[in-house]
Structure 1
Amino acid sequence: MDGPDAVAFAHAQFCNDVAALPPGRWQWNAWLTAKGRVVALFALLRTGEQALRLLLPDMEAEELAQALRRYVFRRKVAITPRPDLHASGRLAAPLRAQGPVLDGTEEDDLELDFGGPALPRSLYLSRRPADADAAQAEAWAAADLRLGLPRLPAAQREQWTPQQLSLERLAAYSVRKGCYPGQEIVARTHFLGKAKRGLVLLRVPAGTVPGAEVAQAGATVGTVVSAAGHDPRLALAVLPLERDTSAPLQVDGAEAVPEPFVEGLARA
């Protein structure tokens, strides 16, 4: 499977608590705009006392690195893309990694537990190039959606808050940590109970793409954020948390059927 890009860095302000992440563990995190909209969702790995890695499923490493360098100021920090590292995955349980605990070291290959009990997956970071396998890459992307991991193509960046993307399912943001872009909006939404939309997993028509409208009873009620897989085609859509379930949902005039999420991808 062709995997995400990697960025090595030592300090940045994200919407989860980096300081509480001990070496040898990883968690989900996100980069937000000042208005609290998600620019990128990524895995954050603490590979040493002074070393962190970002795994970016959808954003170019150099693009995010340039954005983060604006916050370095006078700190002795290197934020550098790692084109020498390659990601590969398999749809099977990891050999040694478990939950948020990594296996391997900064110098060696790393293994991550990237699934759950009902949908096990293993992700590997190595200096050895991965073999391209389009079918496996598509199966991996569909598994992302089943596990509640939204994939964000460029057109879906800066559109959604962490709550609208249901990132609490991944433990991917904190309402207690301060001083990150968008923190005030995220915390206010949480404490005032105003999150009215969240992610729903749908089985959708074959041609469904991100940005497609989700309709119900002739009215638009939501938007497709991510889509992957063939037979079935799956999608993650942002929909009202409280909605009429008696009328069917539709995408492009065909029925879209809600599916249950597979639990187990949260990392904390």
Structure 2
Amino acid sequence: MPDNLPLDFIGFPRLSGHALLSLRGADAAVFAHAQFSSDVTALPERHWQWSAWLSAKGRTLAVFQLLKVDAEHVLLVLADADAIASQLQRFVFRRKVKVEVRSDLIVAGSFTAPEAASGAAIAVDGETLELDVGSDALPRTLKIGPAPAGAPAPDAGFELAWRQSDLRYGLPRLGEDQREQWTPQQLGLDRLNGYSVKKGCYPGQEIVARTHFLGKAKRALQLLRVADGVESGAKVQQNGADIGTVASVAGDLALAVLPLELAEGALSVGGVEAHGVPLLDGLAR
């Protein structure tokens, strides 16, 4: 381990697939509230929540962590969709908010319980933010801060383990081919408290509310153990018929959108048998 690696990040490998998007200005929280699915104005400072950006048709473009650092600073932790910065900029208009990719900061993780953060509360130590992104069943800590000089290269094995832990919690990791394919209900974002049906308008809100109040959601995420090499978009079959689609993959784990009520019979993906795995609770914020 390099001697000049700050103590804060020792034992915290960098998650190279994660990006940070800063919304800063007097209208930052109001802008985020109007664009994203969660209730940003009700979120206390130095707290975070799960959120999503939806299309006008209520389909999910990105799922992310939304941090209210202070009254004029909202920070998004994007695991898969860093390209939304340029798209968001189109909706700023005259609002007092600056949208900026924070390439000067890194996101690092550890499969350990946090030292100070708890639940949705963010712990702040100088320029470093600590987040509790786990539970007693599977402790995890995320740290965000200035990129340290001499930090080791990201570890592919650790990144796969982290991605698999996301899927075990039911957190969808959407590749480009799966964006704009699913409603928040189909992706199980209610398990994460990732959307609101009570706050004001946001893109896709009408579809989300209608599905919620009319009880029309007939599909949801289920975790499967499958053979390595299965790709997102692959069809899940039962009794010779396609019944669902793989939305996220990490090694031999996959999150698939399947009917809420399944018939009797084994599941398969690509002709290989797949087995259901219980999702972990405890990641809702």
Residue from 266, 271, 275 that aligns with 1:248: 266
2:67 corresponds to which residue? 45
1:72 corresponds to which residue? 92
1:121 corresponds to which residue? 140
Q: CA deviation at 1:102?
A: 0.4
1:86 corresponds to which residue? 106
Letter paired with 2:121: V
Structure 1's consecutive aligned runs of 4 or more residues displaced over 3 angstroms after TM superposition are none
Q: CA deviation at 1:73?
A: 1.6
- Name the CA distance, whole Å, in 1 between partners of 2:261 and 2:40: 33
Question: What aligned pairs does 1:184-199 form with structure 2 within 5 A after superposition?
Answer: 184-199=206-221
Letter paired with 1:16: S
Unaligned runs of at least 5 residues, structure 2 = 1-13
Letter paired with 1:68: L
Q: Which moved more, 1:69-78 or 1:164-173?
A: 69-78
Q: CA deviation at 1:128?
A: 2.4
1:24 corresponds to which residue? 46
Letter paired with 1:82: R
Letter paired with 2:272: A
Residue from 109, 118, 121 that aligns with 2:128: 109
Q: CA deviation at 1:157?
A: 0.2
Q: CA deviation at 1:222?
A: 0.4
Deviations 1:222-254 (A, max 9, x none): 00011113xxx100000000111x200001111
- Name the CA distance, whole Å, in 2 between partners of 1:235 and 1:75: 40
1:225 paired with 2:247, answer yes
Q: Identity over aligned residues, as a percent?
A: 54
- Name the CA distance, whole Å, in 2 between partners of 1:79 and 1:73: 12
Q: CA deviation at 1:178?
A: 2.3
2:157 corresponds to which residue? 135
1:214 paired with 2:236, answer yes
1:259 paired with 2:277, answer yes
Residue from 15, 29, 39 that aligns with 1:2: 15
Deviations 1:168-192 (A, max 9, x none): 0100001111210000000000101
Residue from 160, 164, 176 that aligns with 1:154: 176
Aligned residue for 2:50, secondary structure, equals strand
Aligned length: 260
Deviations 1:62-92 (A, max 9, x none): x212221222121211111100010110111
Unaligned runs of at least 5 residues, structure 1 = none
User: What is the TM-score of this pair, normalised by structure 1?
Assistant: 0.94
Letter paired with 1:147: Y
Q: Which moved more, 1:70-79 or 1:128-137?
A: 128-137
Letter paired with 2:97: V
- Name the CA distance, whole Å, in 1 between partners of 2:89 and 2:261: 41
Letter paired with 2:255: L
Aligned residue for 2:161, secondary structure, equals helix
- Name the CA distance, whole Å, in 2 between partners of 1:35 and 1:49: 30
Aligned residue for 2:243, secondary structure, equals strand
User: What is the TM-score of this pair, normalised by structure 2?
Assistant: 0.89
- Name the CA distance, whole Å, in 2 between partners of 1:159 and 1:201: 18
1:181 corresponds to which residue? 203
Letter paired with 1:103: A
Letter paired with 1:220: D
Cα RMSD (Å): 1.1
- Name the CA distance, whole Å, in 2 between partners of 1:174 and 1:76: 24
Letter paired with 2:39: D
- Name the CA distance, whole Å, in 1 between partners of 2:198 and 2:93: 25
Residue from 177, 182, 194 that aligns with 1:172: 194
- Name the CA distance, whole Å, in 1 between partners of 2:213 and 2:234: 31
